[in-house]
């Protein structure tokens, strides 16, 4: 859990500095940095997507996960709850949480920390998130600071889960989950650049369904 605790502190620290410096950072500088974060998020998404080897499973998980998330109202409920803390806070919290918690570094880092007690990857990720959270908070506001709690919850749960499951999780599953995460990050990049907005938390339910979809497809007889 050391890596997750470090990452949580770096996000909170970076966001706190970003909020403190918010009025001192010129709007045009914030816009440029924010565009850079959005473009780099697109790059990370594309890079992760190249590892997908079972696109049909990814497609099914995205469709079913999006439907399930919409019916439950995951995106709407979480944003509404967070917006009670301030207007626009919900969207900022969702955007920053997805940026910090979806990706290969999160999965592999939590796996390494949970299985081997080695927080190296999560500490490297935490250092990167320190700077990202600073500029995100300067641009988006308090929602980025609140995302530190989501980092603690999500990465902590993943680390504990990997520790309990041990080495029984196939590498192929981690690869496909990373690829699906890449698609979600690509959508986040479009969102950050104000090109197109998605109900990303609804679609994130596909990450939970993907292992089941892969198992069902592997269980089907081949002709």
Contact 59, 65 (CB under 8 A): no
Q: Residue 134 falls within a domain, yes or no?
A: yes
Asked whether residue 12 is domain-assigned, the answer is: yes
List all residues 6 or more positions away from 76 whose beta carbon is below 8 Å from its beta carbon. 199
Kindly give, in sequence order, each residue whose CB lies less than 8 Å from that of residue 124, ignoring residues fewer than 6 positions away: 105, 109
Is 130 a domain residue?
yes
> Is 100 domain-assigned?
yes
Evaluate whether residue 223 is within a structural domain: no
Counting the structural domains of the chain, the total is 1
Question: What's the domain range around 199?
Answer: 2-218
Q: Is 100 exposed, middle or buried (0-12, 13-18, 19+ CB in 10 A)?
A: buried
Residue 166 lies in a domain: yes
Question: Which pLDDT score is estimated for 214?
Answer: 92
The CB density around residue 143, as the number of other CB atoms within 10 Å, is 25
pTM of the model: 0.75
Q: pLDDT, tens digit, for every residue of 104-162? A: 677 767 877 887 788 887 887 888 888 888 888 888 888 889 889 889 998 998 888 87
Answer yes or no: is pLDDT of 57 > 90: yes
Confidence of residue 94 (pLDDT cuts 50, 70, 90): confident
Per-residue pLDDT tens over the stretch 59-69: 999 999 999 99
Helix axes 171-192, 55-72, angle to 10 degrees: 60
pLDDT band at 166 (very low <50, low <70, confident <90, very high): low
């Amino acid at each position: 859990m050391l890596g997750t605790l470090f990452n949580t502190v770096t996000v909170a620290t970076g966001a706190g500095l970003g909020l403190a410096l918010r009025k001192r950072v010129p709007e045009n500088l914030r816009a440029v940095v924010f565009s850079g974060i959005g473009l780099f998020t697109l790059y990370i998404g594309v890079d992760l997507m190249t590892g997908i080897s079972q696109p049909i499973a990814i497609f099914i998980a995205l469709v079913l996960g999006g439907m399930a998330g919409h019916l439950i109202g995951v995106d709407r409920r979480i944003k509404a709850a967070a917006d009670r803390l301030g207007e626009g806070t919900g969207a900022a919290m969702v955007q920053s949480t997805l940026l910090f918690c979806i990706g290969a570094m999160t999965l592999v880092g939590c796996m390494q920390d949970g299985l081997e007690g080695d927080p190296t990857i999560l500490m490297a990720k935490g250092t990167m998130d320190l700077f990202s959270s600073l500029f995100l908070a300067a641009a988006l506001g308090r929602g980025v600071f609140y995302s530190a709690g989501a980092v603690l919850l999500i990465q902590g749960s993943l680390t504990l889960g990997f520790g309990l499951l041990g080495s029984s999780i196939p590498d192929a599953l981690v690869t496909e989950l990373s690829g699906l995460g890449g698609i979600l990050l690509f959508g986040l990049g479009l969102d950050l650049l104000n090109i197109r907005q998605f109900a990303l938390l609804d679609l994130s339910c596909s990450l939970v369904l993907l292992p089941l979809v892969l198992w069902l497809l592997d269980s089907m007889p081949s002709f």
